[in-house]
Structure formats: C-alpha cells, structure tokens
Structure 1
C-alpha cells in the first residue's frame, strides 16, 4: 500500500512539474529562436497581434521578452509611406536650388542661416531615413514614459521654429508627447508674439512660456524644465527636424534605467541650401581637449558593438539635444543658473551625470537634424565675449584680416552691425576665462591669441598656449588693455594704424579701448587675481 501511495505521489509531482516548467521552457526556446543576439532590442520575438490600440498604432505587433515585458514596433508605417511620396522644395532632405539673389548677406543676418530658403520649404517637409538598416527591426517597450519637449528660442525665424514643432508632431507617437513647451527668451520680433500664439493655439499639446528679460539659453531651458509635466524632459533646439521614429529609442533606454541621459545622433541641416545629411564620421563619441573644446572621436575597436545600431556610452554630450528623466534631472540639480547664453553647459551636466551614478548614451536609431549657423546672429547682453574692440582716439577697431599667424594687429574702420561682415573682417573677439583675447566667439574661436613680448613690441597673433605670460591681458576700469608681463598698455598709431605696446598713460586716447560688451563682475575678478 505504501509503495502504491509513493508511486502515486511521484506521478502527481511529475505532472505538476511538467505543468509548471514546460510552458516556460517552450516560451524561452521560442524567444531564443527569434532573438539570435539574445538582447531585448533584437529584431525578432514571439509575435502576438495587438488589440485595442489607437489609430496611430493600427496593425502594430506586440513582442514578448523572456521576463514578461512586452515589446512593440513603434514605427508609424503610414506616415513613413506618406513622407516617401512627398515632392517639392527640400523634400527628402534634398538641397534647395539656390539662386545668386538668395545668397545675399541679408538672408543670413537675422538668423545665421538662409531664412529665404527656409521660407520656401514646407513646414512638413520629409527627411531621409538615414538610420542603420537594423533600426527598422528594433522593438521597444510597449509601455514607455511620456515626455515634455522643451524648445527654447530667441528671435528665431518663423519657418525654422514652426518646422521644428511640425517635425516633432509628425514623427512622434502622440501618446508619448505630454506637451511641447516653447520658451521665448525675450524675443522682440513681431512674428514671435501674437502671430505665434495664434498659430500654436491650433495645437492643444503646445504651450508658450516667456521670460521677462533676456536670460540666455540655460536659464531659459531651466524655466521650461521647471514647468514640465511629463515623466521625461526632452530638450531640442529651435531649428531642428526630428527624423523617423526618433522618440521611442530614447524613452526606452530611460524606462530601463532612469539614471540614463540619452542623446540622438545629430545630423546636419545645411545653413545655405537646407540639405539634410549625416555628420562626418557619424557615430562617434563626445570628448574634449585640454582647452575644453568639444570634439567627436571614433569609438575604440574594443568598445564597438557587434550591432552598430545599438546604443553606446559617450563621455560628454554635444549640448542641446537630449532626454532625461525629469526627477533625475532635478536630483542632479539641473543646470547651473550662472551659465550665460550658451556654451559649456554640456560639460557641466555630463560631469554631474557620471559623478552621481548615472550614464550617458548616444542612440544611433534616434536621429535629429540641426541647423549649424553660419555665425551667431544675436547680441550678447552681458559678458566680455563676442565684442568688437573700438579705439577711442582713432575711432577705428582692432582687426585681424591683414595677416597670417605672427603678423601684427592693425586698425580698420569698424564694420556696421554684427552680421557676416564683422566675422569676415575678424572684428569679433572673445576675452576668455584664460584671460587671453581670441578672434571669434567662445565656441568657435580660432586658436590664436593677442601676444606681446615687450613694452615696445607690436601686438601680434600667435598660437594660444593658455599659459598666460605674453598672452595675459587685463581690461581695466580706465579702459586700457594692460599687459602685466611687460608692465605696459596696448596703444595704436593714428598715422599708420599699427597696434603696439607702450608705457601706460591713461590720459592717452589711443590707449583707451572700448569693448562692446563687458561684465564688470568677471573683469573685476580678472584684475583682482
């Protein structure tokens, strides 16, 4: 009797084990069969028809992964098909055929890119899908966090700003967009006031915030982030175009690890003819050199992924285009509100991410086009950068157009405005935190500096070494450019327009120089140190 009971119990146990284990083994075997690379984002999985989804997701497939999470193909195939059929100026990201009349300086003056061409391209234009082919097969979590898209702007062109908004609305699953927040940094152009409000009233998901004074890019972004309601904050610039299925790959990585900051691959929209193309080298990591210039460097072979469409880590981000969990962003402290205008913020946020246990990733299957301006078109309200150096005695400006490296500086007539002419004549300078003076704006300065070797030498341009010495300058309250090494001041000749060093004489008008923009706090620190 006991033997029969024992055999009966063994049989029951085997049946129970089969009921529990066999379905899981079968599902796992099926999952492994459909997932040759063994990763949740691979190209295949067990297929189950989607049910009860909205119009955007009709005919979508849901995919199961081994731990029970569902994956989904987020591509909007119908929108992709419609885009492929579009024809017209700039469609499919093709260059606009420019005429000589459309290349005039006036076209670039207000925005730093050709607004005439931008205005002739559809706000809903199609862009080429230049993702790696593997991206077409990527599946992402069925349940993703939603996001607030923050777009700061200052005196942005009408068509470039609206094209940014349209591209986001056209190429994003609507259920993932909590809102689009346009943050106006004290623009004074009429089209950005009531006309913009009237236009955006057509889109319930779009709202506009405005600053009460010029704040600069970072504080404007912070204002938008503080008003955001979405689970994730996604920052974009005001002259971008979102590409195919750009948003789910970003949100998927954050859903899997909330302390991941993710960046799309940034494509180039040409500032002349608006062609859309990849950056040179495409998938490269962000880095910087000892002078804090942002660089893009190849991924070392030992760190390259078997699938080039997979996300990869990057030491620092490029800057303005990224997504971050909203609560994590504020746990990091957001941005430093003392940052002015733009430039350098990518280092600050990147360093904090790594030091606080987060990670930074670039996502090859997420692509966003960005217009890289021909030059910075707006005025800097404070600071010592982006300034012309005007001599009081002669009424002329310091100019670098005459010589190559090592040649003396000279004076030239001050060009009007701050457009292309000022850049071409090299009358725009940056007084940097290194206390040297460099031609150009803070992010794109040429790597040569004002240099002087004695109290009677000419002021020349020489390779920047960031070691102060002969390239150390103080801009004093008496408007003199003082050179501590030679204990002399920058002077100029009224007769032949040379610039040279001379014994300091604050009463001499030819030794008095006016920067267009100064920041007294920064200058006082320079002089005190």
Structure 2
C-alpha cells in the first residue's frame, strides 16, 4: 500500500509538471527557445580556450582566441625554391663567370652603380635564405586582410634588377592579397624599358603594368602618380632594385587592418652591390634623424626587444619601402607634390603620420633586400639645390620651433625659396595635427640624447701629422663611403687633410658624414674604412692620448693608428710605445674637454 501511494504521487507530480511546461511552451515558446539559444551562445563564448584547443578551420584559417587567423606561408613554393640550383641561389655570394670580360662588367657598372652584369647571370626568381626571426615561421595573421597595390617608380633601372623586384614580390605574396603591380617609368631613356618591357610583362607577369610619365618628375611625384592609378585597399611602395623575402606581405598588412591610420615598414636587408649576397643589415633599430636631416638609427626600446618579432613603433621611416592604407595616404594629402625629385619625403610623411593621429611601425617578420649603390650613376636632373628646398618645405610646415636647429647648421637653407605652402598648411589644419613638440616628447623622446639640438664641441680637429715623418699628413684623397682610407700626402692643410675627433667620439673628415671605421682587427695591419657615421661608438670609437700622442681605436684602446711612411699607407695595429710611426700631432686640441673624455657621453655600454 505505501508503495502504491508513493508511485501515484510521483506520477501526479510528473503529469502536473508536463502540463505546466506545455502551457509555458504554448504561451512563451518562441521566447524560451530564443533565450535558450542566447544562453548557449554566451556559454560557448565565455568558455576558456588554451592554445592547444584552437579549432582548426581547414579552409578558412585557425581560431586563435576568438580571432580567425591564417598561416600564409606557401610551403609548396618554398620547397621548390630549395631545389633551385644556380648562381646566387639562397642569396649566396655570386661571382661573374670568367668568360665575361672586365670591360663588359665595367660598362654596365658605370651606368648603374652596381654590378649589373652579374645581376643578369642570376635568376629573376632566385631563392633567398629565410633569415627572419625564428618565431616568424609560426606567426599567424588575420584571415581578413586588405588588398595591396605595389607601386615601384624607376628611372633607367637595369632590366634584371627591375624584373627581380616585381617577380620576388609576386612569387612570395598571397595571390589574393596582391591586387596589382604598378611600375612607374620616370622618363627612362633605355630602349629595353619601353615596348620590350611592356611585352615581357604582358606575357610573364600580367598582374604588372607600366605607367609612363611625360617628363622627369622625380621619385616623389612618380610615387604619387602610381598611387593615383592604384585600386587596392593599401599602397605598398618599393624601390626598383629590391627583393622581397619569405611571406613579406601579410606582416605589413595586418597592422593596417587593425588600425587604418598606420604605416608599416619592413626590415630592410642588404643586397651587396658587388656580389649580390643577401644579408641582414641588423636585427632592428628605430628610425631617426640628425639636425642636418641625415637619416639615423636609434636603439630598440627594452619592451621592443622583449616582444620581438612583434611590430614596434618607429619615429621615422628609412625611405621608400613601406605600406599604408590608401584611405589614410590621401587623408594626409599623399606626399607634398611640391617636393622635387627626391629628398625629405620620408621625413614629411613620417611627421604627418604621427602628428595627424596615426602611427608608424616596423614589422620584423617582413624583410626586403635593397641594393645600396656604390655610387649614384645619374646626373643631377635640376640646376638648383632641390634637396635643400625639399628639406625647408618639410621644416616650415611640420617642425614648428624645432626648425631653428636645422637652420643653425645649414643657414644657407634660409636663402632658398620654399614656394607656396598654402595647401600643405591646409592638410595640417584639416587633420587637426599635433605640434612637433608633441612628436619630440612622445615619439622621438630619446632623439636628442643621441643627436643633441646643439652639437658638442670637438675633442681635436684640423690636420693629423705623422711625427715620424712630419712632412706627411693623413689625406682622404677624395675617398668616399665604403672606400679604404689608406693614404698620407705632403702636408698642405687642404680640405682633404682636415679631420675631426668629434664630441660623439668618432673620427671623420671635416663636415663629413662618413667616419673612420675598423670592421675587423684580425689582421696585423687592419684597414681603416670610410663608412656612414652611426654615433654609436663600437667600430667607430676613437680617442687621442695626449701623453703618448697616439690615436687609439675602440673601447679598450688596445690598437693605434699606424703608418708605413715609405709607402704612405695607413692602418691600425696593436699599440707599441716604442713605435714612432704611431705618434701623431693634431693642429688643434681641446685639452680641457679631452681631459674629461672618459666621463662624457656617449659612454660604452
């Protein structure tokens, strides 16, 4: 009896509950279903995910956290590259075959400033070694990225280097992201850059087309004209003698997808002008400038090094290799069309990006090689000082009170007309751009530490006379960057015999931006080269010991400037207190400052 009663009670409760739920469903059915679906979605959204539990969406990418990302590496193409055999493959040092004459090499060298004949022996699609940071191989990027138009201006570029630029960009980029390649011909006179180039591209690279300018407009306006013809979401500008490396494009596009007011630069590697070796320039520096508008490099911040290879902020871009959203580029007015040929455009655009509420980043996982010519092969296309005029236009529009520090070093710029600046001031007003003092305090906050507003005085300057043979002085003999400084001549006090041991502790020809550089001390007589001053001590650090009259090299001052007075050869050797050829006399010494040498910045780290 108790069991029967209990059973009946349970049945009644169940029936009552079912009937109640039926009435609820009948009255509120749709609302209840919607509420259940909503609760389910919220629970799924809030559910924790570890990296191991990422959902692999085979054709669309991978869900990282709650963002869809993709591995854009082309494994099949990279595998084929590794099988390629030939001169310069994997970016290795190449040498001209002995069957090619020196005259043939020299003729092309003179009109290009690099070993163009060797370039012709290297495949247009040569392979490159992957020298990116190891984490770049595993890096995923947003599955939804903007499309890109590649804009490459050129003037009398060599055939193989121009085509290698285009092919490397196309071959190593996701095809759905690279929408077009626009080559802008700035009044080239070489026959093969006409119809032959058009026909070749139509057959072998139809994504590329050539826009021809009616006259010599210069690099800056050529870029502007190319941008006007572009139809993609983003503009990517490259020089005409570059090579794009593995997966170069997605790292440039992702920051722009996240914030369209962003410009992104790749790491710029070096393609050797003589042997076409592809090598790293360094593993990251921030862009800067000195107060004569020479491009300089600033050290990475600790947080940038810790998060490598994530993109990091940089005050100034190096030049013509960068990506920017088409929308933002034109909001900024593009480049100032009043800037002529080349010079100053990287400062103008960098200042505009930062001061007009954008940001400039360097992307370590995007690496592009660039040929730095041994010399400029083209004559000056203008009779006036167009570079100084460009610099002054940039300074007058964007630098506010800081322009005085440029003019203090280059007072002649004040005599050069800027032309009409009304449109450029309107760009600044329209975008409600910030003052240059904001840029200096918030973006380039450490610039003046490395490049002071007022130059520190020299430790020594004037002629450098050898005390073993007093009639001989160090002489540059018109040597330039990358050349060996290896000579002395009869002391005359000429401009070629004037030098400075500067407040940055480097040694350079007077008013030059090339410094004495000793890259290798292994040899008994180590050569002294002329190389761009970096003001970072290291292999450009020099001192003068007044007690011994020796010019000492490096942080530890163990090696001294020496000479063979018979052959008039200069070199660096281990310091020897008994060697008379290691003793030198400066014509001017700042004894008070020199006595403080070891206490004054910059100091070795």
Query: 1 or 2, which has the higher helix percentage?
Result: 2
Aligned mate of 1:85, from 83, 86, 89? 83
Q: Which has the larger radius of gyration?
A: 2
Equivalent residue number for residue 328 of structure 1: 328
Which stretch shows the higher mean deviation, 100-109 or 135-144? 100-109
Mapping 1:312-351, distance limit 5 Å:
312-351=312-351
Instruction: Write the distance in 2 (CA, Å) between the matches of 1:458 and 1:108.
Output: 31
Instruction: Write the distance in 2 (CA, Å) between the matches of 1:279 and 1:386.
Output: 29
Aligned mate of 1:278, from 277, 280, 289? 280
Mapping 1:24-173, distance limit 5 Å:
24-26=42-44, 29=47, 32-34=49-51, 45-50=54-59, 62-67=61-66, 69-98=67-96, 105-173=106-174
CA shift in 2, pair 1:197/1:300, >3 Å: same
CA shift in 2, pair 1:25/1:274, >3 Å: farther
Equivalent residue number for residue 240 of structure 1: 242
Task: Please give the per-residue CA displacement for 1:33-86, whole angstroms capped at 9, x wherever unaligned.
Answer: 018xxxxxxxx8321211xxxxxxxxxx6112445x421111111011111111
SS, match of residue 56 in structure 2? strand
SS, match of residue 92 in structure 1? coil
Equivalent residue number for residue 254 of structure 1: 256
Q: TM-score, normalised by structure 1?
A: 0.66
Contact 2:150 2:181 in 1 (8 A): yes
Instruction: Write the distance in 2 (CA, Å) between the matches of 1:259 and 1:45.
Output: 30
Mapping 1:190-201, distance limit 5 Å:
190-201=191-202
The alpha carbon displacement at 1:29 in A equals 4.3
The alpha carbon displacement at 1:97 in A equals 2.6
The alpha carbon displacement at 1:459 in A equals 7.0
The alpha carbon displacement at 1:285 in A equals 0.8
CA shift in 2, pair 1:108/1:425, >3 Å: farther
The alpha carbon displacement at 1:209 in A equals 0.7
SS, match of residue 79 in structure 2? helix
The alpha carbon displacement at 1:220 in A equals 0.8
Task: Please give the per-residue CA displacement for 1:151-195, whole angstroms capped at 9, x wherever unaligned.
Answer: 000000000001111111111111112210000000101111111
Instruction: Write the distance in 2 (CA, Å) between the matches of 1:317 and 1:327.
Output: 19
The alpha carbon displacement at 1:287 in A equals 1.0
CA shift in 2, pair 1:34/1:24, >3 Å: farther
Instruction: Write the distance in 1 (CA, Å) between the matches of 2:195 and 2:501.
Output: 47
Instruction: Write the distance in 2 (CA, Å) between the matches of 1:28 and 1:263.
Output: 36
The alpha carbon displacement at 1:148 in A equals 1.0
Task: Please give the per-residue CA displacement for 1:291-347, whole angstroms capped at 9, x wherever unaligned.
Answer: 22111222121x325431111111111110001111210110111122222222111
Equivalent residue number for residue 57 of structure 1: none
SS, match of residue 169 in structure 2? helix
Equivalent residue number for residue 223 of structure 1: 225
Contact 1:27 1:66 in 2 (8 A): no
Aligned mate of 1:208, from 191, 203, 210? 210
Q: TM-score, normalised by structure 2?
A: 0.58
SS, match of residue 323 in structure 1? strand
The alpha carbon displacement at 1:22 in A equals 5.2
Equivalent residue number for residue 559 of structure 2: none
Equivalent residue number for residue 364 of structure 2: 364
Contact 1:249 1:363 in 2 (8 A): yes
SS, match of residue 347 in structure 2? helix
Unaligned 5+ runs, structure 1: 36-43, 51-60, 388-403, 409-423, 428-438, 445-456, 472-529
Instruction: Write the distance in 1 (CA, Å) between the matches of 2:157 and 2:478.
Output: 25
Equivalent residue number for residue 377 of structure 2: 377
Equivalent residue number for residue 525 of structure 1: none
Equivalent residue number for residue 297 of structure 1: 298
SS, match of residue 378 in structure 2? coil
Unaligned 5+ runs, structure 2: 1-12, 388-459, 465-475, 483-492, 503-509, 512-605
The alpha carbon displacement at 1:106 in A equals 3.2
Instruction: Write the distance in 2 (CA, Å) between the matches of 1:329 and 1:92.
Output: 35
CA shift in 2, pair 1:111/1:255, >3 Å: same
Equivalent residue number for residue 186 of structure 1: 187
| Number of aligned residue pairs | 387
Contact 2:243 2:369 in 1 (8 A): yes
Contact 1:150 1:180 in 2 (8 A): yes
Contact 2:232 2:326 in 1 (8 A): yes
The alpha carbon displacement at 1:407 in A equals 5.8
Contact 2:287 2:316 in 1 (8 A): yes
Instruction: Write the distance in 1 (CA, Å) between the matches of 2:499 and 2:169.
Output: 46
Contact 2:161 2:240 in 1 (8 A): yes
The alpha carbon displacement at 1:145 in A equals 1.2
Instruction: Write the distance in 2 (CA, Å) between the matches of 1:27 and 1:113.
Output: 58
The alpha carbon displacement at 1:381 in A equals 1.2
Contact 2:340 2:386 in 1 (8 A): no
CA shift in 2, pair 1:20/1:305, >3 Å: farther
